[in-house]
């Protein structure tokens, strides 16, 4: 009887193990690929909105958690290490992160062109390398470029300064390969996960750390309506608005942009951030 029970327990254990995914098959990189190009593993990439976190979940995630899990949430002032959160003027700035992307960046550019609005594009180095034509299109339309690290590395600020410097220089080199004369005077840390080393290295390389003041969390795919409502409710003179034109499914952001621009134009002057060193 003992042998029979042991055999049954062993069979049940093996069956249970077979139902658990092999952990070794998971990607170690934060970047995966799909039909649209790279997207970041911390960000949804499906075709349907996922909705927004519950109020209780949002309340439990304090400012000190900014940048964790790749979220583009604004951090407390003491966590920004001097990164700019406003334009420093009554004007409002739209910023687009994680591109360029061949599906969404052209749509964003076309919409901005239609409304004669200039913006700032915080580009990822590997995407700039893969799509130099889109970097050229951004500059040709009069927009400002911003370095957003080589591969959207949220933990970059925790690495040694030499590694941070190499990452930022590699990204700048990819951008400059497409647009040799375009200035790159801004740096935005992925996830807003600022540290003193990453802010300091950016400044040493002639770039001003750039954060934001309005975040509709469009990377969570809340839908165009939610993105629109958040931006229009929170926008005020001097705001820096965080949006995304890559890194996952960004159709909701593209659709929201067409709703946002007429209202913002009526209320504010919109600008691309300056290309002179700050």
Question: CATH classification of 66-267 is 3.40.1440.10, yes or no?
Answer: no
Higher pLDDT, 113 or 67: 113
Q: What is the mean pLDDT of the chain?
A: 81
Average pLDDT over residues 5-25: 40
Category of 238 on φ-ψ map: left (φ > 0), alpha (ψ -120 to 50) or beta: left
d(CA 66, CA 29): 21
231 in Cβ contact with 260 (< 8 Å): yes
DSSP state of 107: H
Average pLDDT over residues 56-61: 29
Strand duo 37-40 + 31-34: pairing: antiparallel
Stretch among 8-22, 29-43, 151-165, 204-218 having the lowest mean pLDDT: 8-22
Average pLDDT over residues 112-129: 98
Could you tell me the CA-to-CA distances from 64 to 154, 220, 241 in Å, in that order?
Answer: 15, 19, 20
Confidence of residue 34 (pLDDT cuts 50, 70, 90): very low
DSSP bridge pairs for 34: 37
149 in Cβ contact with 175 (< 8 Å): no
The pLDDT value recorded for residue 173 is 98
Single pTM value for the model: 0.77
Could you tell me the CA-to-CA distances from 113 to 110, 119, 264 in Å, in that order?
Answer: 5, 10, 15
Higher pLDDT, 60 or 5: 5
d(CA 147, CA 266): 30
**Which active-site residues does the annotation give?**
97, 244
Confidence of residue 79 (pLDDT cuts 50, 70, 90): confident
Confidence of residue 40 (pLDDT cuts 50, 70, 90): low
Confidence of residue 41 (pLDDT cuts 50, 70, 90): very low
**What are the sequence ranges of the domains in the chain?**
66-267
DSSP state of 237: T
In this structure, what is the dihedral angle of CA atoms 63, 69, 74, 80, given to the nearest 10 degrees? 80
């Amino acid at each position: 009887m003992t042998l029979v029970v042991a055999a049954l327990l062993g069979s049940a254990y093996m069956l249970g193990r077979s139902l658990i995914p092999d952990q070794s098959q998971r990607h170690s990189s934060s970047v995966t690929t799909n039909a649209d190009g790279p997207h970041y593993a911390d960000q949804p990439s499906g075709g349907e909105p996922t909705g927004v976190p519950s109020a209780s979940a949002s309340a439990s995630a304090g400012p000190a958690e900014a940048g964790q899990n790749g979220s583009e949430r604004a951090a407390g002032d003491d966590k920004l290490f001097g990164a700019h959160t406003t334009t420093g003027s009554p004007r409002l700035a739209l910023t687009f992160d994680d591109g360029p992307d061949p599906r969404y960046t052209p749509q964003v550019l076309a919409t901005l062109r239609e409304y004669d609005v200039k913006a700032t594009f915080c580009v990822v180095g590997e995407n700039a390398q893969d799509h130099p034509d889109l970097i050229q299109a951004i500059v040709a339309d009069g927009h400002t470029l911003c370095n957003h690290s080589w591969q959207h590395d949220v933990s970059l600020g925790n690495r040694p300064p030499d590694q941070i410097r190499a990452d930022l220089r590699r990204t700048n080199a990819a951008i400059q390969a497409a647009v040799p004369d375009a200035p790159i005077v801004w740096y935005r840390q992925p996830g807003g996960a600022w540290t003193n080393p990453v802010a300091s290295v950016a400044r040493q390389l002639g770039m001003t750390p750039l954060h934001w003041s309005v975040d509709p969390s469009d990377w969570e795919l809340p839908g165009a309506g939610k993105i629109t409502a958040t931006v229009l409710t929170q926008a005020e003179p001097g705001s820096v608005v965080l949006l995304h034109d890559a890194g996952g499914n960004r159709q909701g952001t593209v659709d929201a942009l067409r709703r946002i621009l007429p209202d913002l134009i009526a209320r504010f002057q919109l600008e691309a951030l300056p290309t002179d060193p700050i």
